[in-house]
Amino acid sequence: MRAPARLHLGFLDLGGAVGRRFGSLGMAIERPVTEVTVTRAASDAESGPDAARAARARDAVRAALGISQAFGVAVDSALPAHNGLGSGTQLALAVGVAVARLSGRDLSSREVATLLGRGRRSAIGMEAFEAGGVILDGGKAMANGGGPAPTGPGAPPPLLARLPVPDSWRIILVYDRAREGLSGEAEMKAMATLPPFPPERAAHFCHLMLLKALPALAEGDATSFGTVIGEWQRALGDHYAAAQGGARFLSADVAAAITLLEEEGVPGVGQSSWGPTGFAIVGDPAEAEVRLDTLRRRFASSTNLFFDCVRGNNQGAGLVAL
């Protein structure tokens, strides 16, 4: 199995004033990737980076489906953990889907995600695995008390839209080797302690998403799409600031690189999920190479920053039968 990374571009409504909470936009990208090889075996074995997490996914799917077969799991490459790229979901789904299919169970990505408890707030990682593209999900319905609705609380949110990443678009990635984003209990605690998200702000961004960002994406207009993403990211960065050191970005070095791109006229910039990875969406390959070269020259002395320029992924994960 080969699964793409994803960028999580943000939540539309953290408060749930109209009865649904969250609502996410995200994008699948061509690299980095998760690659795993799963085989039937006489006894369980696991190897490679993140082997322990891969084994947990194998064991969870096997237990949920009542499978007795043993499997070997080799993680050939893994996304950097806690970098805002969806490493946990992509690895879990890659292993889980492979185990299910080797056991004669043709489960969908959504079914496997539900079995593994992935995607409870956002469907971006699961849908990136399923078919790639730019993905908008519908968030989670809330019960009267403000928590998850009693029906299907563990299922990922519904898919509302999936549009291809235009072929000419490039995404510049800004990595910080020295930092890791929130995850697990720390992430849950941070989400629970965020200040209220103003309903009028949620309405504003829903309006921009429906009538500016998505139409711009459909027409291949990176500038208009990026303008919405940049404004949205600034608002979310301010909202999350208390949970990430008082700043819009987890990493001050990533923030400096992104600020440089903004000053050079790139509007579609921000931080994926809890970071530290930053991104910039550029509508022209030649321009993207110029921006990438500028970053590499300006931050040549940095020991922790590194940069890449990638395309979108419009296929999702791939499976090769051995």
Is the pLDDT at 95 greater than 80? The verdict is yes
Please tell me whether residue 62 adopts helix, strand or coil conformation: helix
Structural domains for the chain: 2-310 (3.30.230.120)
Q: What is the mean pLDDT of the chain?
A: 94
Distance CA 230, CA 252 (A): 18
* Residue 146: predicted pLDDT: 52
Is the pLDDT at 16 greater than 60? The verdict is yes
Write out the DSSP string of 130-171.
HH-SEEEE--EEB-TTSSB-SSSTTSPPPEEEEEPPPTT-EE
What tokens does 255 get? Answer: 């923030």
The interaxial angle of helices 124-131 and 109-116, nearest 10 deg, is 150
CB atoms within 10 A of CB 67: 17
CA dihedral 152→154→32→251, nearest 10 degrees, is: 120
pLDDT greater at residue 269 or residue 147: 269
Averaged pLDDT for residues 165-175: 99
Q: What is the pLDDT of residues 125-134, one digit of tens each?
A: 999 999 999 9
Please tell me whether residue 188 adopts helix, strand or coil conformation: helix
Share of the chain above pLDDT 90, in %: 87
Averaged pLDDT for residues 37-58: 97
Is the pLDDT at 151 greater than 50? The verdict is no
**Residue whose pair of structure tokens reads 């500016």 in the numeric block:** 212
Q: Do 238 and 230 form a contact (C-beta atoms < 8 A)?
A: no
Averaged pLDDT for residues 157-181: 97
152: confidence class by pLDDT, cuts 50, 70, 90: low
Averaged pLDDT for residues 282-300: 98
* Residue 144: predicted pLDDT: 60
Is the pLDDT at 149 greater than 50? The verdict is no
Q: What is the pLDDT of residues 18-39, one digit of tens each?
A: 999 999 999 999 999 999 999 9
| Strand-strand pairing, 45-47 and 70-77 | parallel
Write out the DSSP string of 193-239.
TSPPPPHHHHHHHHHHIIIIIHHHHHTT-HHHHHHHHHHHHHHHHHH
Averaged pLDDT for residues 193-197: 87
* Residue 195: predicted pLDDT: 87
* Residue 150: predicted pLDDT: 37
Q: Do 38 and 71 form a contact (C-beta atoms < 8 A)?
A: yes
pLDDT greater at residue 317 or residue 188: 317
pTM (two decimals):
0.94
Is the pLDDT at 254 greater than 60? The verdict is yes
Q: What is the pLDDT of residues 53-76, one digit of tens each?
A: 999 999 999 999 999 999 999 999
Q: Do 171 and 305 form a contact (C-beta atoms < 8 A)?
A: no
Q: What is the pLDDT of residues 107-122, one digit of tens each?
A: 999 999 999 999 989 9
